[in-house]
Amino acid sequence: MIGRLPLDEQLDALRAVLSRNSVLTQVLERGATMGLPGWYLTAGCLFQTVWNVVTGRPATEGIKDYDVFYHDAGDLSWEAEDAVIRAGREVFAGLPAEVEIRNEARVHLWYEDRFGVPCPPYESSEAAIDSFAATTCCLGVRLEAGGRWRVYAPHGLSDVSGLVLRPNPVLAPRSVYEAKAARWREQWPELTVLDWPRDRP
């Protein structure tokens, strides 16, 4: 289990596991060519790849899409984000998966309409990752110069490799966490889903 390895070995082990998903490694390699500020490959494609490998499934099984976050507060228009999305369609063309690109500097403009709670502006892509509905999901990876992997994992890797889904009640409402947990448990019944804290709405 990755989370039980010495800290200096965990990143190498994570890279070895994620590298078994060839779609994921291609998204990393192609994403690195786009020059997006503060970008990360993040969300389900990462922790679900780990879940698949840990449970003996094919590395890409059940992964709906591959999320690329970046943070550009210099232009918050939809037109600017859409231009990046359209450029991404060319960069990621031919991959057997959908790649979704989003400017996290714009999230506060639409979040409340979609989820019913206000979202303060994110100061970085890391801040956006911090607000995922489960701490287990708070994971981002990008490819940097020289082939170095930059990994952002504010809550560590123990829950990810241990198949534990832990709520993160900092932004997303309880209903979002529980809906995601139910959907993921159908695909990965081995998951241990922890309850939403009783003292949080």
Per-residue confidence at 200, pLDDT binned at 50, 70, 90?
low
Q: Find the mean pLDDT for residues 138-156.
A: 94
pLDDT at 201 > cutoff 60: no
pLDDT, average across residues 121-141: 96
Residue 17 pLDDT: 96
Tell me how far apart the alpha carbons of residues 23 and 77 are, in angstroms, rounded to a whole number.
30
- State the pLDDT confidence band at 3, using cuts at 50, 70 and 90: low
Q: Where are the beta strands (DSSP E) in 54-148?
A: 65-70, 98-103, 140-143
- The Cα-based distances of 27 to 14, 33, 47, 194 in angstroms read 16, 10, 15, 31
Rounded to the nearest integer, the mean pLDDT of the chain is 93
pLDDT value at position 150?
Answer: 95
Mean pLDDT of the region 159-187: 94
Q: Of 11-15, 83-87, 180-184, which range is least confident?
A: 11-15
Report pLDDT for 114.
87
- What is the rounded average pLDDT of the residues 110-124? 91
At 42, give phi and psi (nearest 5°).
-150, 180
Q: What percent of the chain has pLDDT over 90?
A: 85
C-beta of residue 191 within 8 angstroms of C-beta of residue 184:
yes
For 201, the token pair is: 């709405």
Confidence of residue 1 (pLDDT cuts 50, 70, 90): low
